[in-house]
Amino acid sequence: MATAEINVKPARDQLKPGEVLCEYCTGKCCRYFALPIETPDEYKDFEYIRWYMLHGETTIFCEDDDWYLMVHNCCDHLLPDNRCGIYETRPRICREYTTDDCEYEDQWTYDRYWETPEQMAEYAEAVTPPKKGASLRSPRPPLLPVIG
């Protein structure tokens, strides 16, 4: 019985001369982009961020004290083998990108990460001061009826 060949992804330091990380990668760098955004400090700032997230395929993350909007959307020129279909004419940002700090190892984590607008709303409520006249306490429940 023949066994199927399993493509095992080698560690960076296990690459043979002439091999590059991209030969084994899933093209993560071509499946999203992240843009820095201003650090929110008021409730209305969080509402803008929540609005971004309502457009789908977006998440928010923090690294150190920097906030980012991540848009999950594949490059139109990513080929089925995860290679660039316009490599020779790719944009400058792609030309300047190196694999030195890429996410090849699949172990990337963020300091903070939000996937849904609801998560962002809950976070905003937790870190911003209560609205004027609002209380941090739950509303007082109604009194139970007296049974006589």
> pLDDT by residue (tens digit) across 96-122?
998 887 888 877 788 999 999 999 999
The Cα–Cα gap between 104 and 110 comes to 15
**Do the domain assignments include residue 138?**
no
Supply the range of the domain harboring residue 64.
15-127
**Do the domain assignments include residue 140?**
no
Q: Which two tokens stand for residue 6?
A: 């399993």
Q: Considering the chain, what is the average pLDDT of its residues?
A: 87
pLDDT at 5 > cutoff 60: no
**Do the domain assignments include residue 135?**
no
pLDDT at 60 > cutoff 90: yes
More confident call, 60 vs 146: 60
pLDDT at 4: 54
- Shortest CA distance to 35 belongs to which of 120, 119, 98, 93? 93
Region 19-45 average pLDDT:
91
- Quote the pTM value: 0.74
Region 9-37 average pLDDT:
88
More confident call, 43 vs 138: 43
The Cα–Cα gap between 55 and 116 comes to 10
**Do the domain assignments include residue 75?**
yes
pLDDT at 9: 81
**Do the domain assignments include residue 35?**
yes
Maximum distance among all alpha carbons in the chain? 89
**Do the domain assignments include residue 21?**
yes
Considering its fold, how many domains does the chain have in total? 1
